[in-house]
Amino acid sequence: MDDSQPLTGTDVKVFQRLYNTLLELMDPPQGPMGSRIPISGIFDRSSRQAAFNIQSYFGISVDGIVGPKTYRVMGQDNFAYGGPAFGLRSLALGTSGADVKVLQNRLNCMRYASLIGQPANGSFGSSTGSAVMAFQGDNVVYRHWDMAFNGAVGPNTFDILWITAITGGRNLREGVNGFDTVGLQIMLQNLGFYRERINGYFGSATREAVREFQSVFGISVDGVAGPDTFYALGRSNPVFWYSADRFPRGRIASLSSIREISSTVDPINGDQNPYGVLLAPNTFDDTQTVLKHGDLLVSNINNAAGVMGLGSTLEHIKSGHPTRFFGGAMAPIAIATSNLGATWIADYGFNPDGSQGIVQVISPNGTLFSGGNIRRTLFAGPWGMQFNFGELYGLPVAFFSTNVLSGTIDRFTDFHPPNFNEDTVTIQIGSDFAHVGTTINTVFGPQGMIWLPMGDVLYIADGADNSISALAPVSTGQNDMGPGLTIYQGPPLNKPAGLGFNPENGNLIAVNQGDNRAIEINPRTGRVVSARLLDTTPVNPITGAGSALFGIYVALDDNGELVIYFTNDNTNTTF
């Protein structure tokens, strides 16, 4: 690549995104390789300068051209394992070769090692296909990218692998430096073996960290990271992101701006006070749905007069304007969408005491299924809602709902449209969560939820005791697991409501009703890593007046930049 006649294309975008990613990953961020560049898909002067920076930093010929030597320090060695080069051809069931070995190595460095089940062998079998599908699922569900979900590795999947699975393209040993060494150092540091700077240079400290790791995990101790070591790393640290726990990348405090997207007031009856928000996923055929990939859906809990708990509408936000998606809800709180396009609603009910609480299931065209009103004696003020995308992960498909009046968590399985009320099996899988208040105006309890496939874990934010807890396994467990394991409790959580997941670093993001801030917490270390004020309105600690936040949804945009969507009750808008 050079800029005599600027090249354009997806490959240029991948280079730009990978460069920016590595700036975040290295210690310190924005360090020895310069600063971030625009992700434009045009190999312009800033891109050429990035190539200069990479070449200069890693001590190779400095010409500003991304050729074989530069690709090598970016983690792509065309001669590794004997060829063909990774990305030269599409990979699917039955293919074999060095490129398959690179694919397996890259996946084995992360949580997909448990699906492949062995070190890379260069043969694309069914287990590799399962790992590819899980990789595609993670990027569809959590990064919200528009990519294939078919278990094959074509151009689009290659691009995503380049920028998210950065280690495994070659064996790493002392003197082999590059972006893939950065990934190795991050994994070893998070596991407690590497204690130095993350700098991409494989020196003696990295060698000894590899040797220590190999000794602990029963691998041949040679200080060389190859297929056996990559596989052990993924089994030991089952994540789908590269981010140092000490210096996590993609933190919410680094978000540059807050932009209003749309009013959320229903254009027909004036319903207001938005609570739940979601981004329509791309896991279903949206040619058959009202919601399209990237559209927003918001729930309104108040009526036009501002009476809390008398709202009945869900708004479809598109092109900066709300249109009614559904008008038959009863104080809709949280919403969640399945990979097939159905929307589930946690309805508190019109009675302030929650006695009318139900869960509703809305068809992809925005109408209530004929059997879509689910009523159970377990319900006590349905409040939070989450889906597990089980079909993408080989698990039973399930929805989860919280009950704010009883401090319990319910699971819904075995449902079949349209007979959700009759067919759905509902059991209580969590209890004894903190909860206060007896009416919709006074309640706080378990609310925001995030489900992750690693360990089949459900994280729950609770505004009654300022905590985040975890239940597992939630898709398959048959018993009430009580309040689960407390991940974090106390300030700066301040009546946390909605809960999101940051796919750039694996952190949880809660929005506070008590002070209008978003709080980012590492669930593996129990450490607060970032915070961001989202609304400057002071919140009255007694009456709650001024509280703006309730719903949150986290994704990455087409350029891989972190985006947080949230509702604002003060202004009846979404951002």
Asked whether the beta carbons of 111 and 240 are under 8 A apart, the reply is: yes
Mean pLDDT of 479-492: 98
> What are the tokens at 223?
């200080």
Residue 359 neighbours by CB under 8 Å, 6+ apart: 344, 345, 346, 347, 374, 376, 379, 382, 385, 399, 401, 412
pLDDT value at 1 more than 60: no
pLDDT in tens, 228-239: 999 999 999 999
Global pTM value: 0.96
Which one has a higher pLDDT value, 8 or 334? 334
pLDDT value at 185 more than 80: yes
**Burial zone of 566 (CB within 10 Å; 0-12 exposed, 13-18 middle, 19+ buried):** buried
Question: d(Cα 552, Cα 546) in Å, to the nearest integer?
Answer: 18
Neighbours of 173 (CB within 10 A): 16
As beta bridge partners, residue 362 has 343, 368
Counting residues of the chain whose pLDDT is more than 70, the rounded percentage is 99
Asked whether the beta carbons of 444 and 404 are under 8 A apart, the reply is: yes
Place of tokens 């000894």: 208
Pairing of strands 457-462, 467-471: antiparallel
Which of 29-33, 367-371, 521-525 shows the lowest per-residue confidence on average (mean pLDDT)? 29-33
For the chain, domains (ranges, CATH) are 1-74 (1.10.101.10), 89-249 (1.10.101.10), 252-574 (2.120.10.30)
Asked whether the beta carbons of 8 and 43 are under 8 A apart, the reply is: yes
Q: What is the mean pLDDT of the chain?
A: 95
Going edge to edge, which strands form the sheet with 446-452? 446-452, 457-462, 467-471, 485-489
pLDDT in tens, 125-137: 999 999 999 999 9
pLDDT in tens, 32-52: 889 999 999 999 999 999 999
Which of 137-141, 173-177, 282-286, 524-528 shows the lowest per-residue confidence on average (mean pLDDT)? 282-286
Asked whether the beta carbons of 395 and 388 are under 8 A apart, the reply is: yes
> What are the tokens at 36?
């971030």
> What are the tokens at 48?
């050429």
| DSSP element (H, E) containing 468 | strand 467-471
pLDDT value at 492 more than 80: yes
Question: d(Cα 98, Cα 401) in Å, to the nearest integer?
Answer: 46
Mean pLDDT of 294-303: 97
Asked whether the beta carbons of 515 and 494 are under 8 A apart, the reply is: yes
Mean pLDDT of 388-405: 95
pLDDT of residue 256: 83
pLDDT of residue 2: 46
pLDDT of residue 472: 98
The stretches of 343-401 forming alpha helices (DSSP H) are: none
pLDDT confidence of 25, banded at 50, 70, 90? very high
pLDDT of residue 148: 87
pLDDT of residue 4: 58
Residue 469 neighbours by CB under 8 Å, 6+ apart: 433, 459, 460, 462, 483, 484, 485, 486, 487
Mean pLDDT of 283-298: 91
Closest CA to 361 of 423, 451, 304: 423
* DSSP one-letter string for 506-556: TEEEEEETTTSEEEEEETTTTEEEEEEE-------TTT-TT--EEEEEEEE
